[in-house]
Structure 1
Amino acid sequence: MNSGRTKPLFVIHFGEIGLKGNNRPDFEARLVENIRKSLVGEDFEKIFRTESRIILYTNEKSDLARIAEKLQKIFGIEWFALAHETDAEIENIKKAAWGLRDNIRGTVKVDTSRSDKRFPMKSMEVNKVVGEVFHESGKYKIDVKTPETVIGIEILNKIALIYFNKIRGVGGLPVGCTGKVVCLLSGGIDSPVAAWMMMKRGCIVEFVHAYAQANVDEVKNSKMADLIAVLKQYNCGSKMKLHAIPYSAFYGASFSMPHKKELVLFRRFLLKVANRIAAQNFINFVRIGNSIEFTIQK
């Protein structure tokens, strides 16, 4: 028996989603959908869930580096790896691992996990048998404590996956699985970081920004547009909505206010606007940033 696949695949693992209960399949399905949306325009064969992981099959047209770059910016992915598939038989696993030896740099460790517990060998036994292939060649040194290269082996139902380099993802929960939130946005670092953290908790974010420019069209060429463009890279290819509020709406009424209270009242004005926008869009939460002083900008 031979799996017949010659092109590599991506094996994708999630972390926090695995702690969910009966609604875990919903979170997994959302993550798969977000990956599909993020990879629009990329060539790949198919993507599916299996045995507490996600498999993405590539094809001859796939840009592996570009796909990996996009996967690194999808919330919900803990880590992933470019892997090779073979049959879940120990001789095939040994041959496949040895055939990929050009990926090895320095000392070696074999790390096996068995999703399919029906496999006749335990994980430690697989580690030993595969490790012996490299040790007995005389070209590689085994180091189980501080290896320079880790050969990862995942044994699933009927197939085994072999990979060398884990790539860390951003973790968290898939965007869109925990509702929407309105975030105040300024030109500082606090508010976009706060928005990014809410996205990591699975929220769809809409922004409110008070602009001082004469024309709202100028906001499109401002720092706000640049910040949203960066955050959009983590939004699975979806658009992000910005509610631009003219500062003049507050400034005209500020002449009758005591000067010392102007900033406090402006903060109150922005929060009331944000709450109104949230209510109109059936959003239950408003995020003001780490510090309201940095969130609000004249």
Structure 2
Amino acid sequence: MPNKTNWDLVLARFGEIGLKTTPVRNQFLNRLIENTRYSLKKEKIDNYEVTKTRGRIYIKTNEIQKALRALSYVSGVVSYSPVKKTTSDKQKIIETSTKIAKSYITKNDSFAVETNRVGEHDYNSLDINEELGKRIQNHTNAEVDLDNPDKKICLDIRHNNAYIFKQKIRGLMGLPTGVQGEVVSLFSGGIDSPVAATRLVKRGCYVTPIYIKKGKYSSEEEFERAKIVAEKFSRYIPKQLKLLVIDLEPVFEKINEHGGRNSCLLCKRVMYRAAETVAEEKNYLGIVTGESLGQVASQTLHNLKLLEETTHLPIYRPLIGYDKVETMEVSRKLGLFESSKKDVGECPILPSKVKTRANLKEIKQIEKELDLVESTKKLAKNNKKIVFN
């Protein structure tokens, strides 16, 4: 039996936005619509119309599949569905829904009808569920299963209109990107840092990634990986993304020669300072990292506290409670994993034994002797930009 429906439009739902006060809700909703339009254009959809009602956004286009793909990149969307639109007349709803069900539900399936209704009508949700359910049974011989159906026919009846669909596709959720301001992200292109950056994106932040170039102390493969992953990450940002590249090779050379067992902490602290320098210059509101508590020696609770001391800016660590498997699962869902997992070799500065409880006084003394603070800030101001259109 063919499973083909000519959908009229795409219905998108939002969650947290609806809980805000009216002025904030309007501001966030306008940003969400703006971001949705940006994403539709990125999918090269030329003809579309975006409209809104309370709790819903509607996208009218002939390119439904592209519109669905566009919404998968938009933070603030809880779920979305391709829908068939009709009036709220009960018989119209039943006729249209039955036609969809006949092309979708077979006698070997179980099914359920679900209705969400807003407004005044001469029927209630239970009435239409029962009548439509019987009609579908008569046409398909399928069994009703309200608890665990194989398939569903869903109705969203809102005042004079009804929208009929088969499924809700889960969105990124969160808040519209841009409503919370901008932060920088220490971005290696590995598995952790891009996922961490997207966690801030879905909470309303623009994120500018920073790649720290180590010269001979890293590989060209690592830099290429960072650029590839940054380009993929850019699809989640509803504006032109710039990857900032800071070359700290002279600083890493000093650490390699004199850092000893403190090398990892010294490296991370110079990265924090480089990110802080950029953030302060651009009035950004914090630094995002992919650190997870206890994942490596530099990420013990004690050592993270030493890293915090490096900057007065807030450090956002959205993966702090994640284990690697959880982060990898998110990376796969975002379409980043295959590029992020590329092996680019171990850091050549990594000591054979890393201090898990570094001494702050000792760290600061080394930084002073090697002039790491001022040299890092000077190099960070000379950053270069890679723009992704």
How far apart, in 2, do the equivalents of 1:114 and 1:194 lie? 38
C-alpha separation in 2, matches of 1:277 and 1:56? 38
TM norm structure 2: 0.67
Q: Pairwise mapping of residues 90-101 of structure 1 onto structure 2 (< 5 A)?
A: 90-100=90-100, 101=102
Counterpart CA distance in 2 for 1:138 and 1:187 is 51
Tell me, yes or no, if the aligned pair for 1:7 and 1:58 is still in contact at 8 Å: no
CA distance, structure 2, for counterparts of residue 280 and residue 131 of structure 1: 62
**Higher RCO, 1 vs 2 (CA within 8 Å, ≥6 residues apart):** 1
Long gaps (5+) in structure 2: 1-5, 300-316, 318-346, 350-389
CA distance in 2, matches of 1:96, 1:229: 43
Match of 1:141 among 140, 143, 146: 143
- Give the match for residue 83 of structure 2: 83
State which drifts further: 79-88 or 247-256: 247-256
Report the alpha carbon displacement of residue 65 of structure 1 after superposing the two structures with TM: 2.0
Rounded to whole Å, the distance in 2 between the matches of 1:211 and 1:256 is 18
Q: Which residue of 1 aligns with 2:241?
A: 240
Q: CA RMSD in A?
A: 2.5
| TM-score, length-scaled by structure 1 | 0.87
In structure 2, distance between residues paired with 1:187 and 1:54: 34
| Pairing partner for 1:50 from 47, 50, 53 | 53
Distance 1:278 1:104, change over 3 A: same
State the 1:168 CA deviation. Answer: 1.4
Larger mean Cα displacement after TM superposition, 146-155 or 132-141: 132-141
Q: How far apart in 2 are the matches of 1:123 and 1:225?
A: 52
- Residue 198 of structure 2 aligns to a residue in which SS? helix
**Offset of 1:250 from its aligned partner?**
1.0
Query: What is the aligned partner in structure 2 of residue 26 from structure 1?
Result: 27
Letter in 1 for 2:147: K
Q: 1:196 aligns with which of 172, 193, 198?
A: 198
**Distance of 1:258 and 1:8 partners within structure 2:** 64
Give the structure with the higher percent helix.
2
Displacement of 1:90 = 0.4
Unpaired runs of at least 5, structure 1: 1-5
Q: Percent identity?
A: 27
- Residues in 2 aligned to 1:220 and 1:263: alpha-carbon distance in whole angstroms: 18
Provide Cα deviations, 1:215-252, integer angstroms capped at 9, x if missing partner: xxx7996111111122112223x222222111224135
Q: Answer whether contact 2:7 2:82 (CA < 8 A) is retained.
A: no
SS where residue 166 of structure 2 aligns?
Answer: strand
Deviation at 1:258, TM superposition (A): 4.5
Aligned residues: 285
- SS for the counterpart of 1:196 is helix
Q: Give the CA deviation at 1:183.
A: 0.8
Deviation at 1:7, TM superposition (A): 5.3
